[in-house]
A = this chain, B = another copy of it.
Amino acid sequence: MGLLAVITAGELLAGITVFVLAVFVGFEIITKIPPTLHTPLMSGSNAISGITLVGALLSAGADHGFLATTLGTAAVIMATVNAVGGFLVTNRMLEMFRKKK
């Protein structure tokens, strides 16, 4: 079983800074949305939260022993469903509106 890279205080602080700024972007970016787009927006941002996939890939590929790899692989499946399904469903909803215009 391999060892894990631990984070330094500097990295943690950089992460927190990035977190805070991204939260502000998230707050500011959504102001007015027509009700029609509530559901697609929800679905699209849900697909983005499938970004855990990146973490899942790192876990699954890191070769940290059988259990960790299994957990990681299961995570890859789940996260891929979330991401792929999410963007496709969103696209389907939006296409429906578009072809009417």
Chain A residues packing against B (C-beta within 8 Å): 10-11, 14, 17-18, 21-22, 24-25, 28-29, 31
Q: Choose among B10, B11, B18, B31 the residue that contacts A21 (Cβ–Cβ < 8 A).
A: B18
With both chains docked as a complex, state the minimum distance between the C-beta of A83 and any C-beta of chain B, in angstroms: 22
Q: How far is the CA of A89 from the CA of B17 in the complex (A)?
A: 30
Q: How far is the CA of A96 from the CA of B3 in the complex (A)?
A: 63
The residue in A11, A28, A29 that gathers the most chain B C-beta atoms within 10 A of its C-beta is A28
With both chains docked as a complex, state the minimum distance between the C-beta of A25 and any C-beta of chain B, in angstroms: 5
With both chains docked as a complex, state the minimum distance between the C-beta of A10 and any C-beta of chain B, in angstroms: 8
Residues on B with C-beta less than 8 A from A17 are 14, 18
Q: How far is the CA of A14 from the CA of B10 in the complex (A)?
A: 10
